[in-house]
Structure 1
Amino acid sequence: MPTKSNNIGGRGGARPGAGRKKSAVKEKANNGNPGGRKLEVLDIPEVEGVEMPKPHDFLSAEQRDGSQLQASEIYEETWQWLKKIGCASKVSTQLIERYAMCSARWIQCEEMTNKLGFLSKHPTTQKPIPSPFINIGINYMNQAVRLWNEIFQIVKENCSTDYDDAAPQDDLMERLLRAREGR
């Protein structure tokens, strides 16, 4: 009798991002190249005059309350950091834009939670319920973290020098605190 496989309807296989992450080239070289394969070290020269790709307009769109979305600023900070460490050409602008948008939306949800509180009224029963901005914010934060991990994995795999400077991801909480104070 044939056995059933767990792959019902052809919907199986490895999940994207599953499994052990690749080691950095610098880490492999420092450990004596334990795998024995030829290491491809990219020493990316600093190119003068490389312009940052212009962020799309939706990253700084005017919001319903009249404020500007902060995604354009996050995009620029991230791109400048990538350029500084020599990896700007390795990360797609679409990935940076998605990261910037999710980060900006997370900040926006946090601002709304601070403004309106943690509770809301149910539309039909009028009883208190948790604010929907909390769960929406958590979803955007999780997406931003996943996208940042993708960006940082590209940096880690392609950078042959140390990157000890502050990363834009480190500044998100500071940006949130500044927004709370109205700066």
Structure 2
Amino acid sequence: MPTKSNNIGGRGGARPGAGRKKTAVSEKAKNGNPGGRKLEVLNIPEVEGVEMPKPHDFLSAEQRDGSELQAHEIYTETWNWLNKIGCSSKVSPQLLERYAMCSARWIQCEEMTNKLGFLSKHPTTQKPIPSPFINIGINYMNQAVRLWNEIFQIVKENCSTDYDDAAPQNDLMERLLRAREGK
């Protein structure tokens, strides 16, 4: 029987995101640095003139139904929040784009579920089946949450001060509700 150390068949080993998350620098400093290692506190100065990296055009591409994808707005809101708390240079634009795209696609699937309902017809039997937009939406939502956790972990590890401001992730449900109202 193969052991984990053989890694036969691609099994075993550390999984991305598994394990205990790192403690925030501000929390370590507040608790007297229990590990005893030297803390690397980043004092990020207020930098004037830092511009948001230009998001790719596909984040605001026209959709088949004529609407515009909301990923560009989500990207901009998230980058502005990161810039406000001084962590915009720590999060890659590609990570932000993936998060924005997954969040926008999740909202799009929710809109389609609202428009078309929870049931669909099977293409061959014509019997009712669950709408495919439900599972697609769940997958996009899970990806968006994983990507947000990655972004937030970077913020948590690099911020030396506490922040009480609202994060863009908290506003996704509100964005979904606004989309339902057609605003």
Place the TM-score, normalised by the shorter chain, in its bin. Answer: over 0.9
1:134 to partner: Cα distance: 0.2
Q: Secondary structure at the match of 2:120?
A: strand
Distance 2:50 2:170 in 1: 25
1:7 to partner: Cα distance: 2.8
| Aligned counterparts, 1:103-118, within 5 A | 103-118=103-118
Task: Give CA-to-partner distance per residue, 1:105-162, whole Å, 9 cap, x none.
Answer: 0000000000000000000000000000000000000000000000000000000011
Q: Secondary structure at the match of 1:5?
A: helix
Runs of 4+ in 1 over 4 A off after TM superposition: 1-6
Aligned position for 1:59 = 59
Alpha carbons 2:4, 2:11 under 8 Å: kept: no
Alpha carbons 2:23, 2:157 under 8 Å: kept: yes
1:70 to partner: Cα distance: 0.1
C-alpha RMSD of the superposition: 1.6
Q: Secondary structure at the match of 1:64?
A: coil
1:43 to partner: Cα distance: 1.0
Distance 1:141 1:110 in 2: 10
Q: Secondary structure at the match of 1:55?
A: coil
Query: Structure 1 stretches of 5 or more lacking a match?
Result: none
1:29 to partner: Cα distance: 0.6
1:13 to partner: Cα distance: 1.0
Distance 2:108 2:42 in 1: 38
1:6 to partner: Cα distance: 6.7
- TM-score normalised according to structure 1 size: 0.96
1:2 to partner: Cα distance: 9.4
Distance 1:2 1:175 in 2: 50
Distance 1:57 1:146 in 2: 24
Distance 2:9 2:142 in 1: 30
The alignment of Structure 1 onto Structure 2 pairs a total of residues equal to 183
| Aligned counterparts, 1:1-183, within 5 A | 7-9=7-9, 11-183=11-183
Distance 2:76 2:68 in 1: 15
Query: Structure 2 stretches of 5 or more lacking a match?
Result: none
Alpha carbons 2:121, 2:128 under 8 Å: kept: yes
Q: CA separation of 1:35/1:114 partners in 2, compared to 1, >3 Å: closer, same or farther?
A: same
Alpha carbons 2:119, 2:130 under 8 Å: kept: yes
- TM-score normalised according to structure 2 size: 0.96
